Amino acid sequence: MDSPVSILRLFSVLVVFLGLVVSLFTRQVGAAAAQGAADAAAVAVTDLVPPNWDCSEANLPPDAAATAARVTVSRTAQLAAVQPTAVEVRADGTCSIIVSVRVSSGGWLGSREALGVACRRPPSAEGAALRAPVAPPC
């Protein structure tokens, strides 16, 4: 009778360990997906901004939030366990566009939230005139 109990104990420890590993993996996948979606959304919103943008949040293109949401959904669509829950687009006085993406990733031990934040500046008019559309760092 001692052998079946030992096998049951070993099996239960292995199941708990496997559950922890799978949940840790889905948490990391969620964090990576959130960051990748935020980066892609920041690039897409920056591409919408006209060259004469006055760096105010009020003068962002009207479809900036919709574009960021669309890019976020398309970026996370391949991952069945990751669902985007919130997308926010902001601008600050230094001409930076900040996109934050919050996702929920489901694992065996429940759901985890992850946040990805990306900052990008549109290329300046001078850089575009020199055919060097390199955005300065935020």
User: What pTM, to 2 d.p., does this model score?
Assistant: 0.76
pLDDT digit string, tens, across residues 49-102:
888 888 888 888 899 999 999 999 999 888 877 889 999 999 887 888 999 999
pLDDT digit string, tens, across residues 3-34:
888 889 999 999 999 888 888 888 888 889 99
pLDDT over threshold 60, residue 1:
no
Look at strands 110-120 and 82-91 and give their pairing.
unpaired
- CA dist., res. 39 & res. 106, Å (int): 22
Domains of the chain: 2-129 (3.30.1300)
Are 105 and 27 within 8 A, CB to CB?
yes
- CA dist., res. 77 & res. 59, Å (int): 30
The β-bridge partners of 117 are: 100
pLDDT digit string, tens, across residues 117-132:
999 888 764 444 445 5
Comparison of pLDDT for 8 and 106, the residue scoring more: 8
How many CA atoms within 13 Å lie on the side-chain side of 84? 25
Q: What is the pLDDT of residue 72?
A: 93
Average pLDDT over residues 38-42: 91
Q: What is the pLDDT of residue 124?
A: 62
What beta strand segments (E) does the chain contain?
A: 82-91, 97-107, 110-120
Q: What is the pLDDT of residue 70?
A: 94
**Radius of gyration over every alpha carbon of the chain, rounded to an integer in angstroms:** 21
